[in-house]
Amino acid sequence: MKVKLILPALTEAESPFWRPIKYSLFPPLGLATLAAFLEEEDEIDLQDQHVETLDLTDKPDLVVIQVYITNAYRAYRIADHYRAKGSYVILGGLHVTSLPEEAAPHADSIFIGPGEETFPMFLKDFRAKSPKKRYFSPVRTLSKLPAIRRDLIKRNRYLVPNSIVVTRGCPHHCDFCYKDAFFEGGKSFYVQLVDDALAEIDRLPGRHLYFLDDHLLGNTRFASELFEGMKGLNRVFQGAATIDSILRGNLIEKAAEAGLRSLFVGFETFSPQNLRQSNKKQNLKKDYEEAVNRLHALGIMINGSFVFGLDDDDTDVFKRTVEWGVENAITTSTYHVLTPYPGTRLYQDMEKQGRITTRNWDLYDTRHVVYKTAKLTPEQLKEGYDWAYREFYSWRNIVRASIRHDAPKHMLKHFLYAGGWKKFEPLWNFLIKSRNLNNMLPLLEAILSRVSGKKEKELENQPASRPILTLDRSEG
């Protein structure tokens, strides 16, 4: 059987502000995970439109398309094209799960929620010539998953080919997040067996890993055992976690010891009223600066996520947020215009209040204002968002933030990471065009090497019997 798996490009990937590097970071892991359920004799072609031109001249027996909100229209056009040719087309992903009725006319079958259970069920039905129109699985487990078909990934086209996901979902319930809508009807947070996760890590070449899990520290026991198993593997890794998990217990120290060097943290807003509006309870009454200091003391760089446009935001929010990020030496910031994705509680609330101003999904890219704002005008919000990016990544602020670290090595890493990420676009474009992106990995690994943070130095001076942070100093 000929099978084609397609990730259509997000609409913003064609905008004049498109940064090719931003869309050449991670391979389509979800599709490679589904491919693992196909038979050895199946002929599989996995195409990611972010890094290659789609070949639409073929006629596969089965076409699998992953749909996000801003590639939805493109995904539907591709689906219609292949159906007209006689291929069997299935659609799945976040947007299909949010709006199944919209997606269904473009597909022979649609998938709602995660596909690890339903895709093998579909394949059985398809081979028996009796596929269903809709697949939904309330069963959620990651045990006995076949090994991801990483051989289908064109590694040299990605900066971070070693992306990995060892959990699904998140234990929290923020109103603006897709998570609850995607996992509705079953467990919304579950983890792999630690041994399976370690086996997957073992299959990945080189040192660098990027955990794409929504919340790598979400299950303390799992994360603790995972980090224990990773100790001594000489890996460096990046991931995401919440403020409360950074402040609780000593999990973050274990992560650092296992090789965590940079963390994506959802600060989102400093306003308690905004946090309540978003049901982001895990951030309420948490000391953001304490979390930042704890990470810095461990030599972990921070990618802070911030949302603009919540109802308590006024015109000062942009300056306050940028200044806080610089003052607290946040390495990189990701700013978002609040976006009410369909299927989320935020969308339902805004719809009830008549605040949704457009349903053009191409604009739901967290850069456009698609709802009626409260204290800010849509223009102020958009301008403030653009200003925040320009200001935070000005050379002046990159230098100011870098020199706030204690260790010279941390200063240099901060400077190279933030500057390299935002200031060398022509170089990134050249590397992408010449298919050499993957050759930058050793440099990334060097930048992510260990820093002797304050906390590590304190621990070095304590008696040898201290149980944690027996760190390999060779990288420092």
Between the alpha carbon of residue 289 and those of residues 95, 186, 278, 309, 405, the distances in Å are 35, 36, 21, 22, 14
Among 3, 32, 177, 370, binds ligand SF4 (CB under 6 A): 177
Report the alpha-carbon distance of residue 384 to residue 309 in Å, rounded.
10
Place of tokens 């403030």: 384
Beta bridge partners of 136: 112
Q: Minimum distance from CB of 259 to ligand SF4 (Å)?
A: 22
Q: Does the footprint of ligand SF4 cover residue 274 (CB under 6 A)?
A: no
For ligand SF4, the closer CB: 281 or 375: 281
Q: Does the footprint of ligand SF4 cover residue 277 (CB under 6 A)?
A: no
For ligand SF4, the closer CB: 180 or 257: 180
Q: Minimum distance from CB of 27 to ligand SF4 (Å)?
A: 21
Q: Does the footprint of ligand SF4 cover residue 291 (CB under 6 A)?
A: no
Between the alpha carbon of residue 11 and those of residues 67, 72, 97, 204, 367, the distances in Å are 12, 9, 19, 31, 12
Q: Minimum distance from CB of 46 to ligand SF4 (Å)?
A: 26
Q: Does the footprint of ligand SF4 cover residue 179 (CB under 6 A)?
A: yes
> Which residue in 229, 214, 235, 97 sits closest to 165, CA to CA?
214
Q: Minimum distance from CB of 234 to ligand SF4 (Å)?
A: 29
Q: Minimum distance from CB of 3 to ligand SF4 (Å)?
A: 31
Q: Does the footprint of ligand SF4 cover residue 453 (CB under 6 A)?
A: no
For ligand SF4, the closer CB: 76 or 211: 211
Q: The tokens of 337 are what?
A: 């215009």
Q: Minimum distance from CB of 456 to ligand SF4 (Å)?
A: 28
Backbone angles phi, psi at 361, to 5 degrees: -65, -20
Among 12, 48, 108, 214, binds ligand SF4 (CB under 6 A): 214
For ligand SF4, the closer CB: 243 or 444: 243
Between the alpha carbon of residue 364 and those of residues 70, 260, 337, 356, 459, the distances in Å are 6, 32, 9, 11, 47
> Which residue in 387, 386, 383 sits closest to 373, CA to CA?
383
Among 168, 215, 254, 450, binds ligand SF4 (CB under 6 A): 215
Q: Minimum distance from CB of 170 to ligand SF4 (Å)?
A: 3
Q: Minimum distance from CB of 94 to ligand SF4 (Å)?
A: 12
The window from 174-182, 252-260, 347-355, 455-463 that contacts ligand SF4 (CB under 6 A) reads 174-182
**Binding residues among 393-432 for ligand SF4 as defined by CB under 6 A:** none
Give strand ranges (E) for 182-259: 189-191, 208-211, 236-241
For ligand SF4, the closer CB: 173 or 231: 173
204: three-class secondary structure by DSSP: coil
Residue span 143-172 as binding mask against ligand SF4, x where in contact by CB under 6 A, dash where not? ---------------------------x-x
Long-range contacts of 196-204 (CB under 8 A, 24+ apart): 196/142, 196/143, 196/145, 197/164, 197/166, 197/226, 197/229, 198/226, 198/229, 198/230, 199/147, 200/147, 200/148, 200/164, 200/166, 201/164, 201/230, 201/233, 201/235, 203/147, 203/150, 204/150, 204/162, 204/164
Backbone angles phi, psi at 164, to 5 degrees: -150, 145
Q: Minimum distance from CB of 380 to ligand SF4 (Å)?
A: 25
Beta bridge partners of 44: 3
For ligand SF4, the closer CB: 83 or 345: 345
Q: Minimum distance from CB of 176 to ligand SF4 (Å)?
A: 7
Q: Does the footprint of ligand SF4 cover residue 343 (CB under 6 A)?
A: no
Among 266, 299, 342, 453, binds ligand SF4 (CB under 6 A): 266
For ligand SF4, the closer CB: 98 or 402: 98
Could you tell me which residues come within 8 angstroms of residue 27 by beta carbon, excluding any fewer than 6 positions away? 48, 153, 154, 155, 157, 158, 161, 163
Q: Does the footprint of ligand SF4 cover residue 213 (CB under 6 A)?
A: no
Beta bridge partners of 272: none
Q: Minimum distance from CB of 192 to ligand SF4 (Å)?
A: 17
What does DSSP assign to residue 416?
H
Q: Does the footprint of ligand SF4 cover residue 242 (CB under 6 A)?
A: yes
- Helix 317-327 × helix 395-402 angle, to 10°: 40
Residues that bind ligand SF4 (CB under 6 A): 170, 172-174, 177, 179, 214-215, 242, 266
